[in-house]
Amino acid sequence: MDPSGPLSLAVLDGLVALALVGVAWGALAAEDLFKGVVLFIALGLLMALAWVRLSAPDLALAEAGIGAGLAGALLLAALRRLSGPRRPQADGDDDEA
């Protein structure tokens, strides 16, 4: 019996589809913005894998490069600008009374 038969490929496709839905839901429902951006990047990479499975390598490269790479980098840069500069706290510098 061939281990890479149609049944195992169908299982792989089903797992990719479930992972896509789960990661998309996680990116939308994330309370932490950084976690949402990281999940968005993972979603782009999973989508690229889905395009490869659908025999569309040109779309897979575009999704990985633009969807995950460029858009992810821009979202991370925007998140960094939104959080502002971080000041390290000194050991004895407590604001609590």
pLDDT digits (tens, 9 = 90+) for 26-46: 999 999 999 999 999 999 999
Indicate the pTM of the whole model: 0.77
Q: Containing domain of residue 68, as a range?
A: 33-84
**Is 22 among the domain residues?**
no
d(CA 32, CA 81): 15
Is residue 30 classed exposed, middle or buried when 0-12, 13-18 and 19+ CB atoms within 10 A define those classes? middle
**Is 20 among the domain residues?**
no
> Taking all residues of the chain, what is their mean pLDDT, rounded to a whole number?
87
**Is 23 among the domain residues?**
no
d(CA 2, CA 67): 35
- For position 95, what pLDDT does the model report? 58
Instruction: Band the pLDDT of 94: cuts 50, 70, 90.
Output: low
- Assess whether pLDDT exceeds 60 at residue 97: no
Which value, in Å, is the radius of gyration of the alpha carbons in the chain? 19
**Is 50 among the domain residues?**
yes
Q: DSSP state, 68?
A: I
How many domains does the chain fold into? Answer: 1
- Give the residue among 70, 28, 68, 75 at the shortest CA–CA distance from 49: 68
